[in-house]
Structure 1
Amino acid sequence: MMEEKRFRKIFEYILDEINEGVHVIDENGKSIIYNRKMAEIESMSRDVVLNKNIHEVFQFLENEESTLLSALQEGQVTKNVKQTYFNDKGKEITIATNSFPITDGDGEIIGAMEIANDITKMEQILRGNILKGDTRFTFDEIIGESQAFQEVIENAKRASRTSSSVLIIGETGTGKELFAQSIHNESSRAAEPFIAQNCAALPDTLIEGILFGTKRGAFTGAIERPGLFELANKGTLLLDEINSLSPHLQAKLLRVLQEKKVRRVGDTKDIDVDVRIIATINEDPIDAINENRMRKDLYYRLSVVALYIPPLRERKSDIPQLVQKFIHKYNRLFQMSVESMSEEVRRCFFDYEWLGNVRELEHVVEGAMNMMTDEPHITFSHLPYQFRRKSQWKEEQLAPLPSVMPTQFDVAVDNGKMDLKSKMDEFEQYYVEKVLEKHKGNVSKAARELGISRQSLQYRIRKHGMRETEE
């Protein structure tokens, strides 16, 4: 008896340590073994499942039966079959299951066993990507009158006429997906799928199967499934934050781009695909290449058309128009009638750095309108507390640059050049040197304070023959 108890303890320990869900029912359909992993997959406790019939605990889709019960009642063996059902709280569960009957020495079925792997997350991601394929943004909805921004819009419209790859470069919140959707909707592929995938949101082990598809049996729980390249065939696939992909996946992506063929994980057969790739990156691609976050050959292949979306701090003249757009949007959603922002708020918005870009501006406007009742204008007191605090902190904490007085910058330096352009160049060099000195040579911080891109500052450093300090 003691030996049997000891053996059972070892058996239960082993079952709870393996990484697959195990569920066993007896000849009456009642659960007699239910390991820890299965409980995690189905978000159920053992007490709720054990000694109960499957239909008392789980709900199955119409015209679909439990593979575990099919194994018990019909002796049916299933391998790597996808099954979707619901637990007692209505939560959807999707598993890749292997189910088979358990027989005694005479061949009589005395129970059934299921070994399962959780693919709920992958299924929801794929479904979500397909649903998000409904594009709604067009170029008409892109707001910005500044010259640099208008140039980006014009270049994006030109790129819509072809099927070349596009790399959209811009900080978080600048509107990269808005441009991607607009390019798709303006192109000849507008009637075909548009599918977006954030490459930073998932681990490599998951995203590889999502992008390229899987062959049944390629790994534990793998089922026959098309990837996003196949689902986006004839259309557009947006790969957001492409620099987050591992070098291995970047190499595989490069192969697909070059050969226009995709091979599912675990397969030996290539599938032809016709997909336009639009990729986004939220940092300087040269930095990403130098720091091994992006393959150089992939960068050249993706950047057939390269669009740089300037951050909001480089196009502050667009702020009033953007604010009016957001006021109109939230007037409609909140059933309000706000007219505009006050002059005080306008000055505050123009002084702020907007590190979160247009997305941050929208969130601030939305937060302010939540604090309003029937006032016609957004005032400083309506702005979210954290925004007001950051604005005040900036004024108090950042020491001002030394003022540039005639005693510090001699407007009549004796170099024989008195034209305006020469003086502007001299002043630019002086001012850039002072800002770099203030930030101890940190190019990124200096560029942020100057309100220009890092590339633009590096250009000026080279232009004036200054030495760039390592950061």
Structure 2
Amino acid sequence: MTSKDYVVLMQKILHYIEDGVHVIDKDGNTIVYNRAMAELEGMKKEDVLNKPLLEVFRSLDSETSTLLKVMESGKSIKNKKQVYLNMDGKEITTINTTVPLTINGEQFGALEIAKDITKIKKLSDIIFDLQREMSTPDVSIKNKIKKYTFDNILGQSPEFKHALNMAKKSAKNRASVLIYGETGTGKELFAQSIHYASDRANKPFIAQNCAAIPESLLEGILFGTSKGAFTGSIDRPGIFEEANGGTILLDEINSMPVDLQAKLLRVLQEGYVRRIGATKDIPIDVRVIATTNQDPIDAVESQKIRKDLYYRLNVISINIPPLRERKEDIILLTNHFIKKYNDVLNKDIWMISEKSKEVLLQHSWQGNVRELENTIYGAMSMIEDEHVLNHQYLNILNLNKKLNKEKIDINMNNTLDETLKNIEITFLKKALYRNNNNITKAASDLGIKRQTLQHKMKKYGIK
């Protein structure tokens, strides 16, 4: 098989790969250009193959083209953001990994694998603009933004009252706060309440979900960009600058890439931010509230959160208990949501039936308060002329019903060791279920150490 045959074969194989693949030879001519890359750039393969790269992509040059840079330097470029124009002038934004191709130590070309993030970049720009509006001093815009305060938080259980009391105390100082709670427990509600009860209430409050944006874009959103940092970049402040004097909520901090956590730690320690591609440090005064839906200790041990960042954020720790651990609040919250959606849906519900109360109290509420609110909203949407919320309108699906009813397997044909093993596995699974897979709490329920529980989970293949 000739080298030309290899190229044809490679082209056919790469046709089925979802990421864009572009290969040039040592003269800068395209020799491989797969379907995904053609779709990404809005090009036809025949307009690109066997043609000089810079003739096709006229917005690039030897400095801005990662393929030509790698061809010249012989060094790989990983996860590089690139913004350029295709043949029709359409702006394309990609994350590229580009590597030199060599045979017997001699470089003959360069290969680039590209992921299209054009839509994600547009979304991040929209998010940034919205966040900018939220921090603007324009009163007419601010009045449209929903603000939560401690008056919006309802709960009577001792554990919940403790969390609420910690939050109210934290509003009186400027220390960093780490809020832990499962999805739907109201972490952002707590964070906003802390901000609006503090001496920063008249300054910006900006929330950023760390799981929603890729690392390459998240860094720019947090710290800003400088013109020339990458092709197409502009001078733009990040949300740390926009929130100066106020508060930033970093939601799902355990989803932030570890490399970016190191840069965040430096900003928190030094009180300065530096835009991507800039050399100037900009002083900032921002209070950080971080949230995590994973037990912080587990997140540190699994290296989802850097240990040094954890200690920097966890100055004040607030643990919001899940709804299944605050049963006394379920009916209280239900009545609140009935009142709320009576107004929203123009209904006239007076009460809930006893059977409805029983169903609500027995449910596991894996989605917590958010799930309860959506359940009441859905039920009230179906009611027409009735004044009582009856259980048949409650659309509740217990995803763990089978586990709840799981019985210990005692088979007289099994050996004693096998029977004891089955009993232990059942106890472990039920403890993990009751605590929503929180290893620390499950181990406490079982009266064993976390390490012991982790060892047994690994031993029995429990995930």
Tell whether 2:438 aligns with 1:459. Answer: no
**1:441 aligned to 2:428?**
yes
Task: Give SS of 1:345's match.
Answer: helix
Select between 214-223 and 180-189 the one with higher mean Cα deviation.
214-223
Aligned residues: 342
| 2:348 aligned counterpart, secondary structure | coil
The residue that corresponds to 1:314 in the other structure is 325
In 1, the alpha carbon distance for the partners of 2:261 and 2:324 equals 32
Quote how far apart the aligned CAs of 1:131 are: 4.2
* Secondary structure in structure 2 of the residue aligned to 1:243: helix
Counterpart residue number, 1:201:
212
**What SS is found at the alignment partner of 2:288?**
strand
Give me the whole-angstrom Cα distance separating, in 1, the residues matched to 2:356 and 2:259.
48
Paired residue type of 1:437 = E
Aligned-pair CA distance for 1:465? 11
Matched, 1:470 2:437: no
The answer to whether the 8 Å contact 1:324/1:340 transfers is yes
Is the 8 Å Cα contact of residues 165 and 305 (structure 1) preserved in structure 2?
A: yes
The match for 1:298 among 309, 323, 334 is 309
Give identity over the alignment, percent. Answer: 44
CA contact (8 A) 1:314 1:451 kept: no
Q: Which amino acid aligns with 2:171?
A: S
Runs (5+) with no aligned partner, structure 1: 1-15, 19-34, 41-78, 80-94, 99-111, 403-432
C-alpha distance after superposition, 1:257-292 (max 9, x if no partner): 100101111111111010000000001111111111
> 2:409 matched to 1:394?
no
Partners of 1:464 and 1:227 in 2: how far apart? 43
Name stretches of at least 5 consecutive residues in structure 2 with no aligned partner: 1-19, 23-37, 44-63, 65-81, 93-117, 136-144, 410-419, 458-463
Partner residue, 2:241? 230
Cα distance, 1:252–1:280 mapped onto 2, change above 3 Å:
same
Distance 1:325 1:136 in 2: 18
2:128 to 126, 129, 145: 126
What's the offset of the Cα at 1:132?
A: 5.0
Correspondence for 1:346 among 348, 357, 368: 357
Name the residue aligned to 2:367. Answer: 356
Aligned AA (1:166): V
Q: CA 1:369–1:132 in structure 2 vs 1: closer, same or farther (change >3 Å)?
A: farther
Q: How does 1:7-86 map to 2 (within 5 A)?
A: none
Q: Residues 335 and 351 of structure 1: is their aligned pair in 2 closer, same or farther, counting only changes over 3 Å?
A: same
CA distance in 1, matches of 2:422, 2:156: 29
Whether the 8 Å contact between 2:439 and 2:450 is mirrored in structure 1 is: no
1:173 aligns with 2:184: yes
Letter in 1 for 2:323: L
Q: Deviations over 1:2-58 (max 9, x none)?
A: xxxxxxxxxxxxxx998xxxxxxxxxxxxxxxx976769xxxxxxxxxxxxxxxxxx
8 Å CA contact 1:165–1:302 kept in 2: the answer is yes
Residue 310 of structure 1 deviates from its aligned partner by: 0.2
Cα contact 1:135–1:185 (8 A) shared by 2: no
Residue of 326, 340, 360 corresponding to 1:329: 340
- Structure 2 residue matching 1:183: 3-state secondary structure: helix
227-236 or 393-402, which moves further after superposition? Answer: 393-402
- 1:173 to 1:466, Cα distance in 2 relative to 1, 3 A: closer
Displacement after TM superposition at 1:441 (Å): 3.1
Structure with larger Rg: 1
Describe how 1:214-225 pairs up with structure 2 within 5 A.
Answer: 214-225=225-236
CA distance, structure 2, for counterparts of residue 288 and residue 200 of structure 1: 15
Once the two structures are superposed, the pairs formed by residues 133-172 of structure 1 within 5 Å of their partners are 134-172=145-183
TM-score by length of 2: 0.66
TM-score normalized with structure 1 length: 0.65
Deviates more, 1:242-251 or 1:119-128: 119-128
Q: 1:96 to 1:466 in 2, by over 3 A?
A: closer
Aligned to 1:253: 264
SS of corresponding position for 1:439: helix
C-alpha contact (below 8 Å) 2:431/2:445 kept by paired residues: no
Contact 1:189–1:236 (CA<8 Å) still a contact in 2? yes
**C-alpha distance in 1, partners of 2:148/2:421?**
43
Question: Would the aligned equivalents of 1:314 and 1:452 in 2 still touch at CA under 8 Å?
Answer: no
Deviation per CA, 1:386-438, whole angstroms, max 9, x where unpaired? x2x538x8279723579xxxxxxxxxxxxxxxxxxxxxxxxxxxxxx999825
Task: Quote how far apart the aligned CAs of 1:96 are.
Answer: 7.8
CA shift, 1:466, in A, is 11
Maintained 8 Å contact 1:135/1:181: no
**One-letter amino acid matched to 2:456:** E
Once the two structures are superposed, residues 324-348 of structure 1 have per-residue CA deviations (whole angstroms, 9 ceiling, x without a partner) of: 1111111111111111221111111
**In structure 2, C-alpha distance between the alignment counterparts of 1:226 and 1:365, rounded to whole Å:** 42
CA 1:373–1:174: 2 relative to 1, 3 Å: same
Q: Secondary structure, in 3 states, of the residue corresponding to 2:305? A: coil
